[in-house]
Structure 1
Amino acid sequence: MKRFYQGLIRLLAAGENIVVATIFNSSGSAPRSAGAKMIIQADGSITGTVGGGRLEAETIELAHKVHKSKQSLLQKFDLTGTDAAGVGMICGGAGEILVDYIDAADESNRQVYEAIITAIKQGKKAWLITELAHDQVGGQLCQLRQQCLVQYDGTITGRFKCEPEFMLKLSSGPAKISIHADAKEDRRFIVEPIRSAGVVYLFGAGHVSQQIARLTDMAGFKTIVIDDRPAFANKERFPLAEIIVIDNFAHLPELAINSNSYLVIVTRGHLHDKIVLEQALQTEAAYIGMIGSKKKRDLLFSVLQAKGYSSADLIRVYSPIGINIEAETPEEIAVSIVAELIKVRAERENVHK
């Protein structure tokens, strides 16, 4: 998402007015694609996606109209069958999409997006709030528009007039962790949490990994599955994850592992675990977890210490992996592991409050 906003800022800096489309749902369970974003330039070029298919085609067409009118709007959609599945919808294919006109001449816009990038880099919680006033003529939601970024400490970037109590309500409560909408009289507010949710790298595509991937998606992590077995690492088994099929674990491809990465080592054998762990210890990952018993861990650690790894290196490793809930089945083990990931992520976020 950081790259998305960086690209957005580059376009504004070049003096190009753009349209940003964002999927959300105003009530009930949010679609899995909620928060998906796409930039539509005046020449029709796009960056990002809102899921492809009919919805994306209609959004691009709508964006052309917004470019001409220079007025943001909200559009309801209701997809069925294949269309809904194509954009990852659950609980039906209904929702809304914000088609937002961004004026390059308004310096406040760039300031808001630059503040978003800073918040992401620093791991700070923030909320992007966009208000569209209700146009009584024709009944469509359009300008007046205002937008700001509200950070956890109350700092506000951008021009935004709103009662302090209502502003606090927008970024608190159960909805504060997912994109949502709120209303006050004839005003509509779209609130988008900006949080560095993290990327989980699953080394191994077995049964436990399959269950982990389901839960990491629900918890807001981006998930990447890595294995040398195409029969295991594929979209049929991991429909919500990115798949990387490798030749072997000894020579992993270049991965974008950084301080917002969570490495989960659940390969099919001790040797593979050791090979991956050695490479994981060379990274600045926020979390390195390895499945297995204490006996297996101690044996592997002694081998690594003999190779020159220090206690400070090995103390980074969560092993046995997961919170102790006496888990036995793959599903239960996955719950314990993802609970630990959530805990580590929350602790990191709290440091940056």
Structure 2
Amino acid sequence: MLLMEKVAMLTRQNETFALAMIIESRGSTPSHVGKMIVHPDGTIEGTVGGGLVEYFVIDECVQAIQKGKSKIVEYKLNKHAKDGIQMNCGGTVRVFIEVYKSRPELVLAGAGHVAIALSKLADFLEIPYRVVDDREGYCTKERFPNATRLIVDEDIGKATLAANLNEKSYLVIVTKDQDEIVLKTALQFPCSYIGMLASKRKAIQILQKLKDEGFSEELLERVSSPIGVDINSETTQEIAISIIGEIIKLSKETSPIKVKQLNR
């Protein structure tokens, strides 16, 4: 597989990685052209010439991935030059490091009116989304034509498990009456965001019940409820906009996401 084909595949799979590309070289260097994929753990595919310069580029790529910012780096391959690295080639090489960040993956637990409004916004923003529900007549391709997955099980806890929640998942709980079951399941996974559409009173009751059942305060603080940016939303569409707004804001943060604590 050609390297750029692999870049396209990783992008389709919504993976986070960096692409390092030699954009300029002067004098003697290990390579005048080269491209290299660097994964978050430092593993690579391709090369920018090998040796010490490649070692430095890999390190810069990992740092760029962690910060979520692309950059250009330059190395003097001369151990006797000021700011040079321990190489004898004598040339200079510049490398562009482009960071490909995974997009948030929206998981809609519930397939009702709010979920449909959220899915339309996700389509507009090109955010991939999955839908989980316990009702076959609601969780359908007709209602959610662009969903990457539709997961239906009369036991919504099992459906939530099948959604394969992970650190990319932004879970929005908008079920008809199964919020507690979905929440119990979701708290087992490292979701970037867990939001539950509920009144303050209902949210307090559910979280208190989970606390009484043994869920730790630290774990429950991961839950965002009430949900969404405060725009005094009233209609279904306005509620969906406020929720997507909150998800966009959190997904843009470069530091670890801090979800809202329940306003008790």
Per the normalisation by structure 2, the TM-score is: 0.65
Change beyond 3 A, Cα 1:116–1:282: closer
Post-superposition offset of 1:304: 0.6
Q: Which has the higher strand share?
A: 1
Query: 1:1-353 to 2 correspondence within 5 Å?
Result: 11=1, 17=2, 20=5, 37=8, 108-109=34-35, 111=36, 113-114=37-38, 122=65, 124-125=67-68, 151=70, 153-155=71-73, 194-242=100-148, 243-252=150-159, 253-269=161-177, 272-347=178-253, 349-350=254-255
- 8 A Cα contact 1:229 1:245, kept in partner: yes
- One-letter amino acid of the structure 2 residue matched with residue 125 of structure 1: G
Q: What's the CA shift string for 1:34-54, capped at 9, x where partnerless?
A: xxx469xxxxxxxx79xxxxx
| SS in structure 2 of the partner of residue 20 of structure 1 | helix
Deviations 1:21-43 (A, max 9, x none): 99xxxxxxxxxxxxxx469xxxx
1:111-133 CA-to-partner distances (Å, cap 9, x unmatched) read 2x22588669955435xxxxxxx
Structure 1 residue 274: Cα displacement: 0.2
Letter matched to residue 114 of structure 1? V
In 2: Cα distance, 1:160 partner to 1:239 partner: 48
User: Do the aligned partners of 1:219 and 1:342 also contact (CA within 8 Å) in 2?
Assistant: no
1:197–1:220 contact (8 Å) kept in structure 2: no
Does the C-alpha gap of structure 1 residues 21 and 316 become closer, same or farther in structure 2, counting only changes over 3 Å?
closer
The change in CA–CA distance for 1:306 and 1:156 in structure 2 (over 3 A counts) is: farther
Q: Which amino acid aligns with 2:163?
A: L
Over 3 Å counting, the alpha-carbon distance change for 1:124 and 1:155 in structure 2 is farther
Deviation at 1:220, TM superposition (A): 3.8
SS in 2 for 1:238: coil
Gaps of 5+ in 2: 14-31, 43-60, 76-91, 258-264
Q: Secondary structure at the match of 1:251?
A: helix
Q: Which runs of 5+ in 1 are unaligned?
A: 1-10, 12-16, 23-36, 40-47, 50-105, 127-150, 172-191
Q: Match of 1:250, SS?
A: helix
1:160–1:228 distance in 2 versus 1, CA, 3 Å: farther
The amino acid across from 2:5 in the alignment is V
TM-score w.r.t. structure 1 length? 0.49
Shift of 1:200: 1.1
What secondary structure does 1:312 align onto? helix
